């Protein structure tokens, strides 16, 4: 059977056939088709279509466009072609003007296109599931002395709902385990892979609810068997190469053997289900038996999640009413109640209370920033176009004398604006395409080109094109079309009757308000980030490497610590469950002495050995350090705990007996540790207990000499491999971990700096447009002043003082707005900087510097102009 010949996009092919000169049509069309077919074979249809569209758009230019025949009446189409031809020649004749306008629009549109991709990506999260409007996750609100929230549910709840309730069309349960180790055996021996996204233990109907198609195998039958797994194509190729992975096995965390029963298509980027490994839920009983117990109601893990598909026409409120029965019948603890509610699938990505990763309001902030940048670019166009209006007054006069109508002149200038808009959009598309990988890497995004290939993006571009053309072109077209022919030909036209200069003053002020607010934001965020990273945290974070333990025996933990201490350059080693500052934590209630009443606050529990304080540089306020012990006997507490207990003096706390973890841990206070930051600066310093318990150690904290860090870590890795042949050596510097506390702020800072730079650049071009206008308006005034003896410095100051007033006025508006926005942002931090006057003086000084650099060329040239030249027409 013959293969079908590849066909380029019909819409753009017809567009080319419509505008191309008949004499060139056959030749160029043939070349276009030939190039398209070659690209189709080498790059695939999507890339070939994209290149074909670009080629057609680049061919839309004078010399190739179909001409008007001699003697032919100027039909609307012919008239528009004439507008296009004249507009094109005008832009080529005024290259500087064209370049400034196109550059301003291209900058702002590039940002708008990238923002469009961000917004479209996040608004499309998990919208591809067939019954998305009826899919809900059951979430939990835990109420005792305090209120907390979890995206998990008790293990038995999904099974009870499936058996006893009718509000759900389907119920499925899953458990997500992150940061797992996958071991695959091949001809080269064992290969180890660390998978941060982990695995999901899922029931078979998980894939009936969620649309993750299989390439091979059947999800229901595969997940019905114990020790069965599904892999994505990407992971299957990573583990087993190009061969068929079905029937092959791998190890989970070094001891759970799983067999591949099916291969999934790669998981799309617009979903919160990121794992590429799905394991039968029946395997969970051997992986984590205590949590898999169908009678376990004593706690909730955020990884144990339940999804339901509601019956059609049934409201979530009716389902939640049925769930309330389980809150009463199955309490989580004697003083803790669990209240269950339904979270829509569409809310999962945005709800930070239940682990959402994107604040929806941030998307609208991005949209607003894109809009304001676009408006500032249009303002620049207005400034530059009206500044040039007087230069074109004689052209307008000649056209009107020759019979040109005001409406024709209006549409002529609108078409010139359309050409600039089209050029800006074209450059912006190319820039966005080139910058997309950089933006993805810099801001941690996964925006793919497919987001820009749909009809939605084409509609976005069309709306942008029309909006820019009308917003930027309407006012200059009205102004230039309104010149009186006689005044224009005599060179006596003026723009004052159209509010020319005052209008431009207002627009420049608006531009600088936007730019200064962004600069203030960038300076404040940068100051807060510097404060968070450079402040004394109460412990040493430099030169400390954290290494996660394996499934160590008690003897191996101590033996490996001693081996590490013998390595030259290793200064200290401590066994602990975590560093002083960590994202997670072990929170527990405590009691004092023989009192059985728990305090109404949670205390952070850290299990540490006797070298913990010296390794991290923690300082004792009173008492002594812990002595070596394998079980909890002595404890250290921080000052924050004393404050919450109402104990005034550190010495008074020594000897106090504290019970934790439901009374299972009991120790005597032997020392008070100075407060340290256990979390980011977003949170207060928590009450904390430090105690020794060898069973609970999970990490090695290794303090090293940074001058020879590479060699030291190689030796540590060698010792590690001798003791853990089946576990790769992975480490992390503590200061890098702490920096991740502020990952969102770092991303926000990078974005604000970028937007500030673009806003300043566009605002500078607006200044350039205004100074151009002023120089034209004041040419004769400058000449007269020079004849009367004014110096060049005095002439420059005539222009400079005007802009100084505008910048100060913009600052007076931007400063309170910036303070309000940043004050609200700083409320997210418990430990924060104060917005001093230096921040605002820096912003004002920077604005003056940018303005001075922008206007200096035009003002100096005007000041040095020969008076005889400027007064010649008088």
pLDDT tens for each residue of 259-290: 999 999 999 888 999 899 999 999 999 888 88
Are the beta carbons of 412 and 86 closer than 8 angstroms? yes
- Is residue 572 predicted with pLDDT exceeding 90? yes
822-870 per-position pLDDT tens digit = 998 888 888 898 888 988 998 888 888 888 888 887 777 777 777 766 6
Task: State percent of the chain over pLDDT 90.
Answer: 22
Computed over every residue of the chain, the mean pLDDT equals 83
| 329 class by beta-carbon count within 10 Å (0-12 exposed, 13-18 middle, 19+ buried) | exposed
Using CA atoms, how far residue 257 sits from 185, 555, 863, in Å, is 11, 27, 83
- Is residue 393 predicted with pLDDT exceeding 90? no
Give the model's pLDDT for residue 571.
92
Q: What CA–CA distance (Å, rounded) separates 355 from 150?
A: 8
Give the pLDDT mean for 64-72.
Answer: 62
Give the pLDDT mean for 751-760.
Answer: 81
440-463 per-position pLDDT tens digit = 877 777 777 777 777 788 888 888
Give the model's pLDDT for residue 497.
46
Give the model's pLDDT for residue 400.
64
Are the beta carbons of 21 and 64 closer than 8 angstroms? yes
Give the model's pLDDT for residue 137.
95
Q: What CA–CA distance (Å, rounded) separates 408 from 509?
A: 33
Find the range with the poorest average confidence among 298-302, 711-715, 803-807. Answer: 298-302
DSSP 852-866: HHHHHHHHHHHHTS-
Say how many residues make up the chain.
874
Give the position of tokens 């860090």.
709
Residues contacting 768, CB < 8 A, separation 6+: 100, 384, 854, 855, 858
DSSP 202-230: E-TTHHHHS---EEES-HHHHTTSTTEEE
Give the pLDDT mean for 501-518.
Answer: 78
Q: What CA–CA distance (Å, rounded) separates 48 from 46?
A: 5
401-410 per-position pLDDT tens digit = 666 666 667 7
Give the pLDDT mean for 658-679.
Answer: 88
DSSP 746-812: HHHHHHHHHHHHHHHHHHHHHHHHHHHHHHHHTHHHHHHHHHTT--HHHHHHHHHHHHHHHHHHHHH
Give the model's pLDDT for residue 19.
81
Q: Does residue 728 sit in helix, strand or coil?
A: coil
Q: Does residue 590 sit in helix, strand or coil?
A: strand
Give the model's pLDDT for residue 747.
76
693-713 per-position pLDDT tens digit = 888 888 899 999 988 888 999
Task: State percent of the chain over pLDDT 70.
Answer: 88
Are the beta carbons of 265 and 97 closer than 8 angstroms? no
Q: What CA–CA distance (Å, rounded) separates 562 from 544?
A: 17
Using CA atoms, how far residue 667 sits from 402, 417, 629, 634, in Å, is 101, 78, 12, 5
Phi, psi of 570 (to 5 degrees): -85, 115
Give the model's pLDDT for residue 484.
62
Give the pLDDT mean for 349-365.
Answer: 82
The distance of Cα 25 from the centroid of its chain, to the nearest Å, equals 46
Rg (CA), the chain: 35
Give the model's pLDDT for residue 80.
63
Q: What CA–CA distance (Å, rounded) separates 49 from 152?
A: 46
Q: What CA–CA distance (Å, rounded) separates 832 from 823?
A: 10
Of residues 79 and 683, more confidently modeled: 683
166-195 per-position pLDDT tens digit = 899 999 999 998 888 888 988 877 888 888
645-660 per-position pLDDT tens digit = 888 888 888 999 998 8
Give the model's pLDDT for residue 392.
64
CA dihedral 501, 502, 505, 511 (to 10 degrees): -110
**pLDDT range class, residue 146, cuts 50, 70, 90:** low
Q: What CA–CA distance (Å, rounded) separates 327 from 317?
A: 15
Q: What CA–CA distance (Å, rounded) separates 371 from 2?
A: 51
Are the beta carbons of 53 and 37 closer than 8 angstroms? no
Phi, psi of 519 (to 5 degrees): -65, -45
CA atoms within 13 A on the CB side of 230: 33
Are the beta carbons of 199 and 252 closer than 8 angstroms? yes
- Is residue 761 predicted with pLDDT exceeding 90? no
Q: Does residue 107 sit in helix, strand or coil?
A: helix
Residue 137, beta-bridge partner list: 307, 343
- Is residue 498 predicted with pLDDT exceeding 50? no
Q: Considering all CA atoms of the chain, what is the largest pairwise distance in Å, rounded to the nearest integer?
A: 109
Using CA atoms, how far residue 625 sits from 46, 220, 562, 648, 661, in Å, is 66, 56, 20, 21, 22
Give the model's pLDDT for residue 502.
65
Are the beta carbons of 85 and 79 closer than 8 angstroms? no
Of residues 248 and 586, more confidently modeled: 248
Which tokens go with 700?
Answer: 């090695």
Using CA atoms, how far residue 359 sits from 118, 163, 366, 754, in Å, is 13, 36, 11, 20
**pLDDT range class, residue 417, cuts 50, 70, 90:** confident
Q: What angle do CA 659, 665, 671 make, to 5 degrees?
A: 65
Pairing of strands 277-280, 228-232: antiparallel
Q: What CA–CA distance (Å, rounded) separates 187 from 297?
A: 46
* Nearest of 679, 822, 810, 837 to residue 748 by alpha carbon: 822
Phi, psi of 328 (to 5 degrees): -75, -40
Give the model's pLDDT for residue 634.
92
* Nearest of 736, 732, 873, 851 to residue 803 by alpha carbon: 851
- Is residue 598 predicted with pLDDT exceeding 60? yes
The torsion region of residue 510 among left (phi > 0), alpha (psi -120 to 50) and beta comes to alpha
Find the range with the poorest average confidence among 32-41, 601-610, 726-735. Answer: 726-735
- Is residue 1 predicted with pLDDT exceeding 80? no
Give the model's pLDDT for residue 370.
84
Give the model's pLDDT for residue 72.
46
DSSP 707: G
């Amino acid at each position: 059977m013959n293969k079908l010949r590849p066909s380029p996009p019909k819409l753009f092919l017809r567009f080319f056939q419509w505008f191309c000169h008949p004499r060139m049509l056959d030749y160029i069309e043939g070349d276009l088709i030939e190039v398209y077919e070659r690209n189709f074979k080498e790059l695939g249809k999507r890339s070939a279509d994209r290149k074909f569209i670009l080629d057609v758009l680049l061919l839309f230019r004078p010399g190739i466009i179909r001409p008007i025949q001699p003697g032919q009446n100027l039909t609307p189409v012919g008239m528009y072609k004439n507008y296009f031809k004249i507009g094109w020649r005008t832009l080529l004749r005024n290259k500087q003007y064209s370049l400034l306008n196109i550059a301003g629009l291209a900058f702002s549109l590039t940002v708008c296109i990238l923002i469009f991709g961000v917004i479209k990506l996040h608004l499309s999260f998990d919208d591809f599931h067939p019954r998305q409007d009826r899919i809900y996750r059951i979430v939990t609100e835990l109420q005792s002395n305090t209120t907390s929230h979890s995206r998990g549910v008790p293990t038995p709840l999904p099974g009870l709902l499936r058996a006893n309730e009718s509000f759900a069309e389907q119920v499925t349960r899953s458990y997500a385990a992150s940061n797992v180790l996958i071991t695959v055996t091949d001809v080269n021996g064992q290969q180890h892979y660390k998978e941060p996204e982990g695995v999901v233990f899922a029931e078979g109907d998980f894939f009936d609810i969620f649309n993750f198609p299989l390439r091979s195998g059947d999800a229901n039958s595969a997940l019905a068997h114990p020790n069965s797994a599904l892999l994505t194509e990407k992971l299957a190729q990573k583990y087993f190469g190009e061969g068929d992975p079905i029937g092959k096995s791998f190890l989970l965390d070094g001891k759970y053997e799983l067999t591949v029963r099916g291969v999934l298509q790669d998981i799309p980027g617009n979903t919160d289900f990121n794992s590429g490994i799905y394991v039968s839920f029946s395997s969970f009983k051997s992986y984590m038996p205590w949590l898999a117990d169908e009678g376990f109601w004593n706690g909730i893990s955020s990884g144990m999640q339940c999804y339901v598909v509601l019956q059609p026409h049934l409201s979530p409120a009716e389902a939640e009413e049925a769930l309330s029965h389980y809150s009463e019948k199955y309490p989580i603890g004697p003083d803790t109640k669990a209240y269950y509610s339904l979270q829509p699938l569409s809310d999962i990505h945005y709800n930070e209370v239940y682990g959402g990763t994107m604040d929806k309001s941030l998307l609208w902030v991005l949209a607003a920033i894109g809009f304001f940048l676009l408006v500032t670019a249009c303002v620049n166009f207005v400034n530059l176009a009206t500044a040039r209006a007087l230069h074109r007054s004689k052209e307008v006069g000649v056209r009107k004398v020759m019979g040109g109508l005001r409406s024709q002149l209006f549409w002529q200038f609108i078409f010139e604006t359309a050409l600039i808009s089209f050029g800006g959009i074209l450059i912006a598309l190319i820039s966005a395409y080139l910058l997309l990988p950089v933006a993805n890497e810099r801001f941690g995004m996964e925006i793919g080109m497919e987001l820009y290939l749909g009809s939605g993006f084409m509609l976005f571009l069309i709306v942008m094109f029309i909006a820019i053309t009308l917003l930027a072109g309407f006012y200059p077209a009205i102004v230039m079309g309104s010149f009186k022919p006689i005044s224009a030909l005599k060179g006596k036209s003026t723009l004052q009757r159209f509010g020319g200069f005052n209008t431009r003053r207002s627009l420049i002020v608006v531009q600088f308000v936007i730019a200064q607010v962004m600069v203030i934001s960038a300076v404040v965020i940068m100051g807060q980030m510097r404060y968070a990273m450079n402040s004394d945290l109460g412990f040493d974070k430099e030169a400390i490497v954290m290494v996660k333990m394996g499934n160590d025996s008690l003897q191996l933990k101590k033996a490996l610590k001693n081996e590490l201490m013998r390595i030259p350059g290793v200064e200290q080693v401590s066994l602990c469950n975590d560093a002083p500052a960590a994202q997670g934590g072990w929170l527990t209630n405590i009691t004092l002495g023989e009192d059985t009443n728990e305090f109404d606050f949670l205390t952070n529990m850290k299990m540490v050995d006797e070298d913990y304080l010296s390794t991290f540089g923690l300082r004792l306020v009173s008492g002594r350090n812990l002595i070596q012990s394998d079980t909890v006997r002595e404890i250290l507490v921080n000052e924050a705990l004393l404050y919450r207990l109402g104990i005034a003096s550190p010495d008074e706390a020594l000897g106090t007996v504290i019970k934790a973890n439901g009374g299972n841990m009991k120790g005597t206070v032997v020392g008070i540790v100075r407060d340290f930051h256990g979390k980011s600066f977003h949170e207060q310093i928590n009450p904390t207990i430090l105690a020794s318990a060898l069973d609970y150690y999970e990490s090695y904290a290794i303090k090293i000499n940074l001058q020879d860090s590479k060699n030291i870590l190689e030796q540590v890795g060698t010792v590690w491999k001798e003791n853990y042949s089946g576990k790769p050596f992975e480490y992390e510097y503590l200061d890098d971990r702490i920096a991740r506390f502020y990952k969102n702020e770092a991303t926000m800072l990078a974005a604000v700096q970028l937007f500030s730079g673009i806003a300043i650049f566009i605002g500078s071009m607006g200044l350039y447009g205004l100074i151009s206008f002023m120089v034209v308006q004041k040419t004769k005034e400058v000449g007269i002043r020079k004849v009367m003896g004014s110096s060049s410095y005095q002439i420059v100051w005539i222009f400079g003082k005007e802009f100084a007033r505008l910048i100060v006025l913009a600052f007076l508006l931007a400063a309170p707005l910036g303070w309000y926005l940043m004050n609200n942002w700083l409320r997210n931090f418990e430990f924060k900087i104060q917005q001093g006057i230096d921040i605002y003086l820096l912003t004002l000084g920077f604005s003056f510097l940018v303005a001075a650099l922008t206007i200096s060329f035009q003002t100096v040239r005007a000041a040095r102009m020969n008076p005889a030249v400027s007064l010649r027409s008088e």
